[in-house]
């Protein structure tokens, strides 16, 4: 029995005097004592990560501490949610400098309602909110979140079979940032040259695809050869380069002799300085992040023509209205196959610091997503009740979705997911027939 349930039984009654009375009806003190004793024994416990010490240079796991707390009983209009998909993002490191030591680490999450005292919110609803790094949260839907996002939590719409994790990715803050940050600040025109740094990340990979849809020539910079291949072969970037092994100034002269019209900056540092020096007069720059300097002290980007429009990008600038306006459009675009995405999933709430540190190091491709969701082990491209051991999962070579069930194999052991198998007659790798179905 939760205390909130007990309190709900008392709703509407008036407590008068001592001993306890409800409209002249005497209630034995022992009954209240017993009830609260039972309630206290069954209080909901939550886990959360707090800032143990300030980040100096690259964050360390010891900078964050996993603690347990008892949640208060629900009051009127409040709900209890449990995290399913959490988010680790570059902004968290600089924003954490504002947090007092001992404060819950900030961040967004997709959470499921497990108890509700709000008639407008039902158990099973999914919410998006900036509740921080915690596995359970008591939420008052009338209150705004803390930094960095001023928006209130809100119920997610039906994603029509798409993973709920997209609420912290393509259909969440990163998608919102890419969509509005690029279109409103860079104002791309067909035929213009667009350069994206951090192009294989959650935001950059979407910006590049949107630029292609707008008819632009797109050049991306990423930190590994595998990411470069993904940008060129799967996302159809016109050019992509590994900035760690190639000279950005030289490759830009070759790839864009006409200069750069739009630059979406996720990196900062020396890479951005090289790109600035290739900007055309009247160019537009959207400054979204500075991953090169989050873990170190770098020189600020320098150079570029005098007449350029440079603006900072932050999701809070566009706020919830903008995201709701774009949500349906981006959902439809994804369904039409025009936008592709990848997720780097880290399983287990206790591994949040590892996911955070890995993201800052650039170890993720696409969105870095720590998972607590039951559907983390669900076959993403098939029935929602199809689950299997994640250790058997593989990435479908055509749609790039990680699968763990309804896997087709040809005679040579090449695998394909069910939906893609329905679109091809033979194995695209060796042209053999598919003979096995793993379930």
Between CA 369 and CA 110 the distance in angstroms is 11
Residue 53 lies in a domain: no
The domain boundary, picked from 316, 333, 359, lies at 316
Does the pTM exceed 0.75? no
Domain count, the chain: 3
Q: Let me know whether 306 and 423 are in one domain.
A: no
Q: Let me know whether 285 and 419 are in one domain.
A: no
Q: Let me know whether 306 and 207 are in one domain.
A: yes
Query: Mean pLDDT score of the chain, rounded to an integer?
Result: 78
The domain boundary, picked from 295, 316, 337, lies at 316
Residue 73 confidence (pLDDT): 94
**What is the domain-level CATH number for residue 292?**
3.40.50.720
**What is the domain-level CATH number for residue 428?**
3.30.40
Report pLDDT digits (tens) over 315-358: 555 555 455 554 545 554 554 467 899 999 999 999 999 999 99
Q: Let me know whether 178 and 308 are in one domain.
A: yes
Between CA 132 and CA 126 the distance in angstroms is 16
Residue 167 lies in a domain: no
Residue 168 lies in a domain: no
Q: Let me know whether 187 and 310 are in one domain.
A: yes
Answer yes or no: is pLDDT of 114 > 80.
Answer: yes
Residue 310 lies in a domain: yes
The domain boundary, picked from 266, 284, 316, lies at 316
Report pLDDT digits (tens) over 51-75: 999 999 999 999 999 999 999 999 9
Between CA 307 and CA 279 the distance in angstroms is 10
Q: Let me know whether 191 and 296 are in one domain.
A: yes
Residue 29 confidence (pLDDT): 44
Q: Let me know whether 421 and 296 are in one domain.
A: no
Between CA 23 and CA 37 the distance in angstroms is 25
Place of tokens 């650039």: 362
Q: Let me know whether 396 and 291 are in one domain.
A: no
Residue 329 lies in a domain: no
Q: Let me know whether 309 and 388 are in one domain.
A: no
Report pLDDT digits (tens) over 203-255: 999 999 999 999 999 999 999 999 999 999 999 999 999 999 999 999 999 99
Answer yes or no: is pLDDT of 174 > 80.
Answer: yes
Report pLDDT digits (tens) over 301-318: 455 444 566 676 665 555
Residue 298 confidence (pLDDT): 46
Could you tell me the pLDDT band of residue 421, with boundaries at 50, 70 and 90? low
Query: Beta partners for 100?
Result: none
Residue 224 lies in a domain: yes
Residue 26 lies in a domain: yes
Domain range holding 305?
Answer: 173-316
Q: Let me know whether 177 and 312 are in one domain.
A: yes
Q: Let me know whether 211 and 289 are in one domain.
A: yes
Answer yes or no: is pLDDT of 300 > 80.
Answer: no
Residue 236 confidence (pLDDT): 95
Between CA 91 and CA 206 the distance in angstroms is 18
Between CA 85 and CA 72 the distance in angstroms is 23
Report pLDDT digits (tens) over 364-412: 999 999 998 544 433 333 333 333 333 334 566 666 555 544 566 676 6
Residue 347 lies in a domain: no
Report pLDDT digits (tens) over 7-32: 333 333 333 333 333 344 444 444 44
Q: Let me know whether 306 and 390 are in one domain.
A: no
């Amino acid at each position: 029995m939760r205390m909130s349930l007990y309190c709900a039984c008392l709703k509407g009654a008036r407590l008068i005097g001592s001993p306890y009375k409800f409209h002249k009806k005497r209630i034995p003190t022992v009954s209240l004592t017993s009830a609260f004793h039972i309630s206290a024994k069954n209080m909901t416990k939550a886990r959360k990560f707090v800032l143990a010490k300030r980040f100096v240079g690259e964050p360390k796991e010891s900078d964050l501490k996993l603690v347990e707390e008892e949640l208060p009983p629900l009051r009127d209009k409040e709900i209890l949610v449990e995290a399913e998909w959490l988010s680790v993002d570059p902004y968290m490191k600089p924003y954490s400098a504002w947090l007092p030591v001992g404060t819950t680490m900030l961040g967004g999450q997709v959470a499921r309602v497990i108890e509700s005292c709000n008639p407008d919110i039902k158990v099973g609803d999914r919410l998006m909110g900036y509740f921080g790094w915690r596995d359970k949260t008591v939420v008052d839907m009338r209150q705004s979140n803390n930094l960095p996002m001023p928006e209130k939590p809100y119920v997610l719409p039906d994603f029509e079979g798409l993973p709920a994790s997209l609420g912290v990715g393509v259909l969440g803050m990163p998608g919102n940032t890419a969509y509005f940050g690029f279109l409103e600040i860079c104002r791309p025109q067909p035929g213009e040259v667009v350069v994206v740094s951090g192009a294989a990340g959650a935001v950059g990979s979407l910006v590049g695809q949107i630029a292609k849809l707008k008819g632009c020539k797109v050049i991306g910079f990423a930190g590994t050869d595998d990411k470069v291949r993904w940008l060129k072969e799967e996302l159809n970037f016109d050019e992509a380069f590994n900035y760690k092994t190639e000279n950005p100034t030289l490759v830009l002269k070759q790839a864009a002799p006409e200069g750069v019209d739009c630059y979406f900056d996720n990196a900062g540092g020396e890479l951005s300085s090289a790109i600035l020096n290739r900007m055309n007069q009247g160019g537009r720059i959207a400054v979204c992040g500075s991953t090169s300097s989050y873990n170190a002290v770098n020189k600020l980007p320098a150079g570029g023509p005098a007449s350029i429009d440079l603006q900072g990008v932050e999701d809070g600038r566009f706020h919830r209205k903008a995201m709701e306006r774009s949500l349906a459009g981006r959902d439809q675009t994804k369904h039409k196959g025009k936008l592709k995405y990848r997720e780097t999933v880290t399983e287990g709430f206790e591994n949040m610091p590892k996911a955070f540190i890995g993201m800052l190091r650039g170890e993720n491709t696409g969105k870095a997503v720590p998972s607590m969701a039951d559907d983390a082990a669900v076959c993403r491209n098939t029935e929602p009740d199809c689950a299997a051991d994640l250790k058997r999962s593989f990435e479908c070579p055509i749609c790039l979705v990680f699968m763990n069930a309804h896997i087709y194999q040809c005679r040579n052991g090449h695998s394909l997911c069910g939906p893609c198998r329905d679109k091809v007659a033979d194995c695209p790798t060796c042209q053999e027939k598919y003979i096995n179905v793993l379930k």
